[in-house]
Amino acid sequence: MTPQQLRHWLRRSPTPARIRADGQILEIPQTPYRWSELASSIEALGASRIECLSESGAVIRAASMDAGGPEAPDPAEVAAVREERAERDRVREAVEIARVVAEASERATRQHAETYSRVLERYEGLVSLVVQRLTSLERAYHSALVQAARAQSEAILVRAEAEAEAAQQQDQGLAPLLTAVAGSLLSGDSGQSPPKPNGKA
């Protein structure tokens, strides 16, 4: 019986509570590799006959190490081993799928972040351009207001100067008449006729 055959034979259902090898009782170690350790102990003892015992000490099954191999494996055990392997394969496949999905999600997140960063940079540039345009328009509007006010002030000044000059000219035209009227009034008050313009009485 090979070590692999021995391990399979020991772990078959129903599971034994202890093992008897050539009359010597062997306790089953409570470790993850208990069947491998138990098979190694049996081989180290050089036992020729092994028996699987229940809790009450009844023989569940027995085999001879020199018989060339135990009886045919239990189909239920074979199915359990296959199911265990299939479950490990499914778990491995699920882990691989989860890894691929995680990597794809990370790449997508990184791409979205880069896209948002580029959009934000363009938006900031657009806002800066709009602010510059508004500032230029405000300056141009202020300059236009100043020029309009200046032109209006100059027009008012020119008009005022023209009105003042016209008034001065009008005053100059009325000066002789006012002088004559004043002289006439003075002559009337003194009892003399006012002098004629050509100097005759």
In the chain, domain spans: 3-71
**Could you tell me the CA-to-CA distances from 98 to 33, 84, 87, 201 in Å, in that order?**
30, 21, 16, 137
Task: State the Cα–Cα distance between residues 113 and 147, nearest whole angstrom.
Answer: 51
When comparing pLDDT for 127 and 179, which is higher?
Answer: 127
- The rounded Cα 6 to chain-centroid distance in angstroms is 59
User: Which amino acid, residue 92?
Assistant: R
The reply to whether the predicted model has a pTM over 0.85 is no
Task: State the Cα–Cα distance between residues 197 and 201, nearest whole angstrom.
Answer: 10
**Residue 67: per-residue pLDDT:** 57
Asked if residue 73 lies in contact with residue 8, where contact means CB atoms within 8 angstroms, the answer is: yes
**7-30 pLDDT, tens digit each:** 888 888 888 999 999 989 999 888
**47-87 pLDDT, tens digit each:** 889 999 999 989 999 988 875 544 555 566 667 778 878 88
Reported as type and span, the H/E element at residue 23 is none
**130-156 pLDDT, tens digit each:** 888 888 888 888 888 888 888 888 888
Reported as type and span, the H/E element at residue 21 is strand 18-21
**Residue 139: per-residue pLDDT:** 87
Give the dihedral of Cα atoms 29, 35, 41, 42; nearest 10 deg.
Answer: 130
When comparing pLDDT for 171 and 108, which is higher?
Answer: 108
Asked if residue 53 lies in contact with residue 59, where contact means CB atoms within 8 angstroms, the answer is: yes
Reported as type and span, the H/E element at residue 60 is strand 59-64
- The rounded Cα 180 to chain-centroid distance in angstroms is 100
Asked if residue 2 lies in contact with residue 66, where contact means CB atoms within 8 angstroms, the answer is: no
Task: State the Cα–Cα distance between residues 86 and 49, nearest whole angstrom.
Answer: 34
Q: Is the pLDDT of residue 198 over 60?
A: no
**160-188 pLDDT, tens digit each:** 888 887 777 776 666 676 677 767 777 66
Structure tokens at 81: 């081993």
Asked if residue 6 lies in contact with residue 39, where contact means CB atoms within 8 angstroms, the answer is: yes
